[in-house]
Structure 1
Amino acid sequence: MTDPASTHGGGNLAVPRRILGFAPDAADAWIVHLDCGHRRHVRHRPPLSDYPWLGDPAARAARVGAPIECGRCGRGELPDGAAAYRTTDAFDETTLPAGLRREHTLRAGRWGRVEVLAGRLRFVMPALAVDRELAAGEHAILPPELPHHVEPLGPVRMRVVFLRAPAPDLPRES
């Protein structure tokens, strides 16, 4: 799910994510299911992409839990099917918790959306080279496990919506 309002940062940065499993596609390539909720096609086509282990079932299985880059996380794209499960109360510049003002992360597999309801808010996520101002009606996407913080820029009202991606439907033998 691409959300142009949330795509931010330094362009095409990739974020290391853990492989949960593999599923074949119709074109004889492999789809990697990642712990962030994204899926990624992986093909062994040297010299452009070098994944010789894809052709061996035991070698693929050994890669479960290993890191691989996710460009969609780097672009701040929510995984397909991500659904809200909790929303905070609205905070203003005086009630904004100290924990949101200092660097913190969301746990693995959990996403967030910072929504500015009124005023202005500074949103900072150094790993993706993000330092931007959000105005009323704007939002920023929070990928899992990436340090970030917010700072009020005068009077502000904001909230955080927490989301999670559906569990991948992986074949028993990938």
Structure 2
Amino acid sequence: MAAITPFRSTPIFDQDTLPAALRRRHDTKAGVWGVIRVLEGELRLTILDPVSEGVLTPDKPGLVLPKQPHFVTATGSMKMQVDFYDQPPF
């Protein structure tokens, strides 16, 4: 089975460059899955529907389903990137 590759990835953000748009409620488009990858440190992911919260680390990425409202919070020094897929990535 071939590996699934993202159709788009964000730049790498740190705690200072993390865009305000990612820090407040937003969602992915229909048919788009997002995988939040923490490269260094930690990042809090809050899913608003259904409500859940977790801490992402380099060993624990976050999956955002199509049209799922969410936001992230930097909890300290970190680096992260989001990969976008047109099918479930895992």
TM-score bin (small chain): 0.7 to 0.9
Give the root-mean-square deviation of aligned CA atoms: 1.7
CA distance in 2: counterparts of 1:113 and 1:91, whole angstroms: 14
- Contact 1:126 1:148 (8 Å CA) reproduced: yes
After superposition, the Cα gap between the structure-2 partners of 1:136 and 1:83, relative to the gap in structure 1 and judged at 3 Å, is closer
| Structure 1 outlier segments of 4+, above 3 Å | none
Cα separation, partners in 2 of 1:129 and 1:117, compared to 1, 3 Å: same
Which residue does 1:132 correspond to in 2?
54
Q: Do 1:118 and 1:137's aligned partners in 2 also have CA atoms closer than 8 Å?
A: no
Q: Among residues 134, 139, 144, which one is paired with 2:66 in the alignment?
A: 144
Q: Which residue of 2 aligns with 1:60?
A: none
What is the aligned residue count? 86
Q: Percent identity among equivalent residues?
A: 35
Q: Confirm or deny that 1:154 pairs with 2:76.
A: yes
Structure 2: gaps spanning 5 or more residues: none
Q: For the residues of structure 2 that align with 1:137 and 1:156, how far apart are their CA atoms?
A: 13
CA, structure 1 residues 145+82, in 2 after alignment: closer, same or farther (shift >3 Å)? farther
Q: 1:145 is paired with a residue of what secondary structure? A: coil
Q: Which protein has the bigger strand share? A: 2
Greater fraction helix: 1
Say which SS state the counterpart of residue 7 (structure 2) adopts.
Answer: strand
Contact 1:113 1:161 in 2 (8 A): yes
Higher relative contact order (CA 8 A, sep 6+): 2
- Structure 1 partner of 2:19: 97
**Structure 1 residue 87 displacement after superposition:** 1.0
TM-score normalised to the size of structure 2?
0.87
With normalisation by structure 1, the TM-score equals 0.47
Per the TM alignment, residue 135 of structure 1 is displaced from its structure 2 partner at its CA by: 1.8
Q: Does residue 122 of structure 1 match 2:44? A: yes
